[in-house]
Chain A
């Protein structure tokens, strides 16, 4: 990167299936207060904010209206990106690299529990002319991709069962995870078919939560107690159409990884990265993501937090929870270089990657 950027503060709420005691405002306020305390900054020092959200997840048109107050950034530069939090992280880092800001925050939250008919919202994302009139449950898209991926890769449904057992079990050690469970692959194999070959337990369950990150320029980060450096970011889209995508591979993640690895100077992720927090909205996606990242030996390094299957599917906050888990591992010494990855879910082909490290350059 042309100018080094660090994460100097992380704040998150616990991930929970429901959060009836708070609105999105108080939920985000909690994450922001934690982040600013972690960074040891006042809200007055923040020059800009990047928020990540979608109108129909919020139930608000032009939902960016309601972003500044709970971040303490009234009358400052605030923008909204309809992307995962990792897209927001990349945008915030670029803002700092332009030289106009020293301190920028990134925010995303999920009040998934407030959406009464989530499947209808996702249905509304299907192409209105070609796909939506067919009237299927929209997650057929994941079923198609899983089936094709298994065929091309040689991975099995049992491999996917094992991903679920691993991530749910990993979540037992994560105090902010919503869905920890002591289960085995055999338990997963018993769960009902949904979008065959997919089973119900292969799908991450939705949850509420908020994350705020404080990013700073190198000069400002040097004054912070525990900066974690963003050594590479990458993001990319494949075609939005169902008709023209490859189906058995994830071109968006491959392109995003290539960009991030290039920036971070990584040529062999197996050797150079020791901690991976990657997309697992569906169990097969963890396997597909690792293949797309070029990771061959992931034993003990993949989604030790529990991933989205163990922690919860927090809409566009997924990527920021991945980053929060990476930062924790880097700070406590259990990792030297970490990778966070997110995919935005069906029917999108939108992926982002960030490489984080205790050191830079």
Chain B
């Protein structure tokens, strides 16, 4: 089964103009309606707190919040203000950006289980103010917020998580 196609090109083939090409910058822009659950979530981030939603039927408190319980398939029942603390469920020490540029100082992405939510329920976020080698699964962490005047209703209003002191 010797393949006949899949002709490899080198960077030189492109740069020398030997191989014709077309470049294009698409404009793919959106304003995604947040809806009631994520809308409130963002608003509360601006207020400097994490909130979840609770379903009385299955007794789960979930974050990120949803308007409905996806397992019971009914509207969720109430908002719950969660704690400012959590536990590292898992983490990485990452040396490249989203578009593969090298980082001098690594980022520490993590899933943080938020206290007050159901066990194992976390969010994707970043850990900082710590020696990367000190980070462990199961470590307790606390939320570090941007100053109130800098918050804009974004997940980045929560600056990062750092070890609980």
Contact = CB atoms under 8 A, between A and B. Distances in A.
Interface of A: 19-26, 29, 32-33, 36, 42-43, 56, 59, 68-70, 72, 74, 111, 113-117, 120-121, 123-124, 128-129, 132-133
A129 B22 contact: yes
B67 A21 contact: no
Contact of A25 (B30, B35, B73): B35
Interface residues of B, number: 21
A22 B34 CA distance: 7
Given A26-B68, A70-B68, A116 B29 contact: yes
A23 B24 contact: no
Contacts of B28: 56, 59, 117, 120-121, 124
B27 interface: yes
Contact of A120 (B26, B37, B70, B71): B26
Interface of B: 22, 24, 26-38, 66-68, 70-71, 73
A69 B32 contact: no
Contact of B22 (A43, A113, A133): A133
Contacts of B30: 59, 114-116
B70 A21 contact: no
A26 B35 contact: yes
> Interface SS of chain B: helix, strand, loop or mixed?
mixed
Pick from B36, B66, B70, B73 the residue with the most CB of A within 10 Å: B73
Contact of B67 (A26, A113, A115, A132): A26
A129 to B, nearest CB: 6
21 contacts: A20-B33, A23-B32, A23-B34, A24-B33, A25-B68, A26-B35, A32-B73, A42-B73, A59-B28, A69-B70, A72-B71, A72-B73, A111-B33, A114-B31, A114-B32, A120-B27, A120-B28, A121-B28, A124-B26, A128-B22, A129-B22
Contacts of B26: 120-121, 123-124
9 cross-chain pairs, A with B, having the tightest CB-CB distances, nearest first: A23-B35, A72-B73, A69-B70, A59-B30, A43-B73, A116-B29, A120-B27, A124-B26, A26-B35
A117 B26 CA distance: 10
Contacts of B27: 117, 120
B33 A114 contact: yes
A22 B22 contact: no
Nearest to A68: B70
